[in-house]
Amino acid sequence: MGTLSVSQIKLQKRLRRLTGEAVADFNMIEHGDKVMVCLSGGKDSYTLLDVLLHLQKVAPIQFEIVAVNMDQKQPGFPEDILPAYLKGLGVEYHIVEKDTYSVVKELIPEGKTTCSLCSRLRRGTLYTFADEIGATKMALGHHRDDIVETFFLNMFFNGTLKAMPPKLRSDDGRNVVIRPLAYCNEKDIQAYSDLQQFPIIPCNLCGSQENLQRQVVKDMLQEWDRKTPGRTESIFRSLQNVHPSQLADRNLFDFSSLKIDENATPRFVNLLNL
């Protein structure tokens, strides 16, 4: 890559700044952490690793970075690309081999969405490996658009108001997942990936599936942003500005005990006393 243009420099600085802000806001990385960066071979995880390596150089704290890729034994998977790339960076890395591809293909009927089962199997394997190598944090490449899309997917199809939190502790308490790109948008990440010419590895297990619900939601959000620029950003801000008393979850707010406050200031002035 040659000399960057002014707009390219701004793009790089924006991604680094937003990542730094997210890391600071949610205390994602602390002194002495061993951060396992989960590298899929897609634009998001490449960008994540690139930005975290920069952050490691300039941060006032010290932390380790270990890149981990999971080889799911998909037919035609180019096994040499990631090791060559990571060796070139001088980054410590591991390739975890686990044939989840065969499991998914066996259990999911042809034409049905494989993403849910595939992600669960992958997540379980990576959680276990993070524990084995003593990683204190697991960094995933999900960005702002992923988080908003997940929010709508859960609302539309699961009847829940939840998304992907920037920081999450696993149910068993043994892993902490962080999403340092939580403030970054997909458009910037795509542009940065193109700029850096990352050696992208396509997913031929689920990437070729059509009519995925996530793609439907993505198209909906993109259409909204075309009509009203900034809407996705506004939706993301709403996830940081929740008012439980204005919703209807009885576990989050005690609606049953609500009653008139007898000591409240009267709303109307007594005109007879004027």
Query: Could you tell me which residues are annotated as the binding site for [4Fe-4S] cluster?
Result: 115, 118, 206
Single-letter code of the amino acid located at 227? K
Binding residues: 115, 118, 206
CA-angle at 40, arms to 140 and 91, nearest 5°: 80
Q: Where are the alpha helices (DSSP H) in the chain?
A: 6-25, 43-58, 81-89, 100-107, 115-133, 144-153, 186-196, 213-227, 231-239
Question: What letter would DSSP give residue 37?
Answer: E
Kindly state the tokens that stand for 47: 């960008």
Q: Which long-range contacts (CB under 8 A, 24 or more apart) does 226-234 make?
A: 232/144, 232/145, 232/148, 232/185, 233/144, 233/185
Note whether 178 and 167 are within 8 A (CB).
yes
